Structure 1
Amino acid sequence: MAGVVSAGHEKTAEAGQIILQAGGNAFDAAVAAAFMGCVAEPTLTSLGGGGFLLAHQAEGSADNRNILFDFFTQTPSSRMPSRQTPSRQTSSRQTSSRQTSGRQTSNSSLDQTQLLDFYPIEANFGDSVQEFHIGLASMAVPGIFAGLLAVHKKLGRLPLNLVVEPAVSCAREGLTVTDFQGYCYELLHPILLATPAARRIYAPQGHQLQAGERIHMPEFADVLENLASLGHDAAKRAFYEGEIAQKTVRDAQSGGGVLRMEDFCQYSVIERSPLSINYRGVQILTNPPPSAGGSLIAFGLELLDRFDLSAMTFGSVEHLMLLSQVMRWTNEARRSHLDDALFDPGIADAFTATDLVEKYAQPIQKTMAQSLNRWGSTTHLSVIDDEGNAASITTSNGEGSSYVIPNTQIMMNNMLGEEDLNPNGFHQWPLNQRMSSMMAPTLILAAGTPQLALGSGGSNRIRTAILQVISNLLDFNMTLAEAVQAPRIHWENGVFHLEPGLLDPVSPAPDSHKAPSNPSNPSNSSNIDTTFVTEALGTDRVVRWQQANMFFGGVHTVGVDSSGTLQGAGDPRRSGAIAQ
């Protein structure tokens, strides 16, 4: 079968293409590529993490052709270990945790949280530094393995053992660390070197792996191959009820974590109806609540739809002001109307209702008239086949907890240590509940036929990256590659981030994991007075990035052009690659 795959690594995209050529459909290919991502992009995704897959089936009734598979992480059933863990509670790194995250815990709970293996590390991007929390108490219930099994069982056509074969072979044979993965290793070295099991993967010779060296994951290959041989149902039981879960729970409970066996045994994949909106004459499907990312993209597009971007020049002051205002007021709407209502029935429709959108469009219109989480250890892949099936899948392991499940080379997530995912503070999450996420796999349909599949990694920048790529395509008529590579902005919490090529007379040459300068040649960039940021946005906190960076997401996209030809674009910010 013919098709196109866009992903965050050449091997990931190739795995999907191998399966398409073997007769698989887009869903077989997406599952194969996702398994390969755990090998080729291990700092971005893992079977210890979670994710979402948005599927469009070429055949079937209109009511069930579009499905959002939610296999994101679940909060545990308890916030504390079942017994005290004196071996770690007095460690120096946990003392640091108490000092850093004390604002998130009440005095009454402080003594209990001291029992937890939960501590901060920093990732230095050069232009920005971000703090994350890791350790056994940062681990939520993983969902990726259950999710990929569920998607393949429902929509795939090839045998499961054939679908996992590319990942198994690559893990066993090893692969060369790319420049981008080497960059990721350096950013996350406090995590990758924090435990003996992690060091055996990422520093097998005593030093951290560098670009050009080879990484091997033979234990992961054996585990994945053995699980796939069991079939879907037995494989899920083996992962969530067998030794993998038992070892994880044993180590968590004895070392300051909170996961229990019932947390694993009760995990299930949820099928949801996608959130749907119309924009510029096409239908856009994305991730619905309780995840926030899709709703925020939809709200932002509804705001943009009130303005005529065709009369603007890409990268002009007017264009950047509008984008930043849309981001600013989307954040305001999120705080006031979404965060505390994500689990309310009907919140998706209520949040994008005309009256609410108009309320937040008004201050943007007034401003326009008067004037004229950084890392996000997340990856995305998109697939469209020649039958018209489409899959958009985003997965994440957070930054990784540093804990590796024994004899598997599977690092568990640190979602309970992600500030973006814990708006009420660390250790305050609701029990046994699907976590919210910014991940938003997205499809664009025209007359019911998929025209584009896209998504992004990048934590809080996911929604703004996807918003800008959609607008670039539909408002500025860019090609797929131009829309993905064009420089981006991000506005959040009073800080205005700009990539080079926007309001900047000179753009540095890109390297292998940095995006090229804007292909659309923003006009008058050398003459723009950035005082508009202070005057229009009420802030002088501007971060002018010296190079395009993975901070701004990685939008890996596939689509169908006007002639019906399949095409793809990988985002160079996250080492994007296509295979067809």
Structure 2
Amino acid sequence: MSLSMNWRAAALCLLLVAGGAFAADGAPAKAASGHASTRIPGHAAIASANFHATEAGLEVLARGGNAFDAAVAVAATLSIVEPESSGIGGGFMAVLHRASDGHDVFIDARETAPAAVDAQDYLNPDGSPDRDTALKGPLSAGIPGEPAGLVLIAKRYGRLPLAQSLAPAIRIAREGFEPDERLREAIAGMQEDLQRWPASAAKYLPGGKPPAAGVIWKDPDQARTLELIASHGDQGFYHGETARKLVAAVRAAGGNWTLADLASYRAKERTPITVDYRGYRIVTAPPPSSGGVAIAEILNILSGYDLTKMDAATRTHYVIEAMRRAFRDHNDYLGDPDFVKMPLDMLLSPFYADGLRQSILPDKATPSSMLPRAEAAEPGMHTTHFSIIDADGNMAAVTSTVNYTMGSSFVAEGTGVLLNDEMDDFALVPDKPNVYGLLGSKANAPVGGKRMLSSMSPSLVIGADRTAVIGSPGGSTIITQVLEGILHFIDGESAQQIAAHKRFHHQYLPDVVNVETGVFDAATSDALTKMGYTLKPREAWGFMNVVTWDRKANQLDAASDPRRPSGLGKVQ
């Protein structure tokens, strides 16, 4: 979809790096203080999973908005053009940095369980988990948080009226766009499930089949829903016309939502987790994300080593062992902070990390069976992340999800809203694995109004001269992807290098190291195997989006994961 030349000219020289990542260059500025408040004249950088979403954010910036207005525009546009991963029928977590006063805040727009949630609904007659109920249809959907979160960001942190920030998404939904290959493949892969519900089939399977390449696809129902949000804020989604349609559709299909569930939903501001590592301040997600606690715990453990002086195998050994211990801990204790008391002081303590470090042998893997058992429940692989820095140094790291591919596959008739399937992120059946083979504890048991635990880990990395905004989708691998990205950034790598880096992952159980092809050379793989690690090849995972700012050179850089390119490169 073409955009007017007005804002294109105002946006100066914009470079599409990959997959929807833009950066704009301007005149040098002085180095910033610790909270990165120096203005970056003519600069803006956005990295998202889709070209249309990135352009929507840039359009809003060029019209006088800040990074937070742009975040609203990007998220709303992703709801239209990347519904396989996120949308207003799901939720998000965001870390924001306001440059004017150095204020950091975490926005919790995670979904909640409906009041009538009943764990028995997710059991087969023999007591085993009913994965179909947990993952498909209205019973799998939590109360969406994204609309309330976008309204909160616009109202408290944006410069523009909400309607201006939502305008690009509404226009794209009304006028149409060409679905990219990833969306077409997602719809084709979920076709059987989408066919189960008339509104889902009508939206995603026009003529009974997925949209073909080159076809212009419109979304008038979701445009109408976004228009109501633009005009009425929370009232436009959680009350009135949209709320009535959502509840009617869910209940007609066997779900248990009520108007009261929607009316009582609130997005929340929370204090982010911060941890210092090698001269950098990492600002990351607190519960109900498990990711920030795990990242902080891992970095605290690693702070006792000088990884820069180690060979590749030894360095990887210590990182894996830190991952193992953090994953052993985090989900056994963590849940919705409004429902669960958590020993965060202990988990985040450097003294606790000291004790964990003492249990790591210098040349041998620690079998997970030797550590006290703690189980984890993690979200799915089909999530999205975007990163933004604006000309004033405001930053937004936003990770948004509907959980599994195409969420619940259930579209609420008359709204255009594809609902999430986040109920599977609860420990619906204690000590039974969810769809990703991961277990859960009672801290993450479903209760009406409770937020399910998440691994979403939007993060900021702020140093004396360099800053990064980073995040990724990827279920439990979100945590290790973001961790590895932070380590690479601190080692001096560029946004493109960070996003492209090969990855490895260990999550305590199962006791294997997932490895992307090419992450280790033959000598490192052999050394790790001799230490006792089981290396398990796995296809590429994640869709990292990174923005970096070198404040000495006053250079912004933006990169999207080359593993999943949008198929479009552009220089203006």
What range is the shorter-chain TM-score in? 0.7 to 0.9
1:79 to 93, 99, 117: 117
**For 2:128 and 2:403, how far apart are their aligned partners in 1?**
22
Aligned residue runs from structure 1 range 439-458, under 5 A:
439-447=456-464, 451-458=467-474
> Please, which of 308, 314, 317 is the counterpart of residue 313 of structure 2?
317
| Correspondences of 1:340-419 after superposition (within 5 Å) | 347-367=343-363, 376-399=381-404, 400-418=407-425, 419=434
Aligned match for 1:554, one of 543, 546, 554 = 543
Q: Which position in structure 2 is the counterpart of 1:522?
A: none
1:543 Cα shift? 2.7
What are the ranges of 5 or more consecutive residues in structure 1 without an aligned counterpart?
105-117, 122-131, 504-524
- Secondary structure of the 2:547 match is strand
Letter in 2 for 1:347: P
Q: Residue deviations 1:450-498, cap 9 Å, x none?
A: 81111111111110100011111213x2222111111001123213211
Residue equivalent to 1:128: none
User: 2:354 & 2:461 partners in 1: Cα distance?
Assistant: 24
Q: Does the 8 A contact of 1:49 with 1:143 survive in 2?
A: yes
Inter-partner Cα distance in structure 1 for 2:530 and 2:184: 37
CA distance in 1, matches of 2:525, 2:265: 53
8 Å CA contact retained: 1:289, 1:342: no
Q: Are 1:464 and 2:480 matched, yes or no? A: yes
For residues 145-167 of structure 1, give each alpha carbon's deviation from its aligned partner in whole angstroms, at most 9, with x where no partner exists.
Answer: 01101100111112222211111
In structure 2, the residue matched to 1:198 is 200
- Change in CA separation of 1:2 and 1:529 when aligned onto 2, cut-off 3 Å: closer
2:66/2:159 contact within 8 Å kept: yes
C-alpha distance in structure 1 between counterparts of 2:84 and 2:455, whole Å: 18
Q: Taking structure 1 as reference, are residues 337 and 203 closer, same or farther at Cα in structure 2, changes over 3 Å only?
A: closer
Distance in 2, Cα, partners of 1:98 & 1:480: 47
Deviation (angstroms), 1:573: 3.0
Counterpart residue type for residue 132 of structure 2: P
The answer on 1:45 being equivalent to 2:67 is no
Q: Paired residue for 2:258? A: 260
Q: In structure 1, what is the Cα distance between the partners aligned to 2:158 and 2:164? A: 11
- Residue 414 (structure 1) shift: 0.7
For residue 173 of structure 2, the aligned residue among 140, 163, 171 is 171
Q: 1:138 to 1:369 in 2, by over 3 A?
A: closer
Look up the match of 1:125.
Answer: none
AA aligned opposite 2:553: S
| Greater Cα offset, 69-78 or 185-194 | 185-194
Q: TM-score, normalised by structure 1?
A: 0.80
Instruction: State how far apart, in whole Å, the 2-side matches of 1:364 and 1:29 are.
Output: 44
1:512-527 correspondence runs (5 A): 525-527=521-523
**Cross-structure match for 2:327:** 331
CA offset at residue 298 of structure 1? Answer: 1.1
Contact 1:75-1:430 within 8 A present in 2 as well: yes
Which amino acid in structure 1 is aligned with residue 558 of structure 2?
G
Match of 1:42, SS state, is coil
Q: What SS does structure 1 have at the residue aligned with 2:206?
A: coil
- The CA deviation string for residues 206-242 of structure 1, in whole angstroms up to 9 with x for no partner, is 11235544432122122212431x2xxx331131122
- Seen in structure 2, the aligned counterparts of structure 1 residues 367 and 245 have a Cα distance that, compared at 3 Å, is farther
Distance 2:280 2:444 in 1: 42
Match for 1:269: what amino acid?
Answer: A
Is 2:108 aligned against 1:70? yes
Cα 1:213–1:365, aligned 2, differ >3 Å: closer, same or farther? farther
Q: How does 1:473-512 map to 2 (within 5 A)?
A: 473-475=489-491, 477-492=492-507, 493=509, 494-503=511-520
CA deviation string 1:398-435 (max 9, x = no partner): 12112212112111111112337982489951222222
Query: Is contact 1:441-1:456 (8 Å) kept?
Result: yes
Aligned match of 1:543: 536
Q: 1:401 to 1:195 in 2, by over 3 A?
A: same
- TM-superposed deviation, 1:193: 3.6
- C-alpha displacement of 1:578: 9.3
- 1:423 correspondence with 2:440: yes
Runs of 4+ in 1 over 6 A off after TM superposition: 576-580
**CA displacement 1:301-341 (0-9 Å, x = unmatched):** 1122222221235xx33233233222212112225554698
| Aligned twin of 2:39 | none
Q: Distance in 2 between matches of 1:338 and 1:245?
A: 31
Q: Do the aligned partners of 1:58 and 1:388 also contact (CA within 8 Å) in 2? A: yes
Q: 1:4 touches 1:578 (CA, 8 Å); kept in 2?
A: no
CA contact (8 A) 2:275 2:283 kept: yes
Aligned alpha-carbon RMSD (Å): 3.1
User: How many equivalent pairs are there?
Assistant: 504
Structure 2: tracts of 5 or more residues without a match: 1-41, 368-377, 426-433
What is the deviation of 1:37?
0.6
Match of 2:289 among 285, 288, 291: 291
Please give the secondary structure, in 2, of the residue aligned with 1:120: helix
Code of the residue aligned with 2:187 in structure 1: it is Y
Q: Distance in 2 between matches of 1:414 and 1:453?
A: 28
